[in-house]
Amino acid sequence: MDEADMFALANDLRLACQRIARRVRFESTSAVAPHQFSVLVYLGRVGPQTPSQLAAHDKVSAPSMTRTVNCMAEDGLVEKVPHPDDGRQVLVRATEAGEAVVRETIAQRDSWMLAHIEGLDAAQLALLRQAADLLLEVSDA
């Protein structure tokens, strides 16, 4: 494959991934905004974090993350607890309600995707399986 073909492939892959991500995110319902969902998923994966750690992970300013965390705390999705090693800081952790939002949102998004692939034949599904594995590998690189 020459350089022009590689650039075309890269562009097509980027567009396809963006379109799918956008459709999954906006055509499935969610109880929270995408940036709040991102925080909840991250907390579920790594455990309690400081607002600064959350801001660094999401690449937003500390004041922006503080506003997000405060809104989520008001909605009962996260709670702030004293930091065990630094009395000046707090840790943010997901509540059961926040964890439930993650489970429900993922289930809705997976259902949306399932509805869009279940009509494919066995060969297409096998190709999608290979593509999904490869895309996951590329995204972890």
pLDDT, tens only, 125-134: 999 999 999 9
The counts of H helices and E strands in the chain are 6, 2
DSSP structural state of residue 28 = S
Number of domains making up the chain:
1
CATH of the domain at 125: 1.10.10.10
pLDDT tens-place string over residues 47-73: 999 999 999 999 999 999 999 999 999
In this prediction, residues 15-40 reach a mean pLDDT of: 86
Provide the residue range defining the domain that includes 8: 3-140
Q: Residue 80 and residue 73: Cα distance in Å, rounded?
A: 7
pLDDT at 120 exceeding the cut of 90: yes
pLDDT band at 101 (very low <50, low <70, confident <90, very high): very high
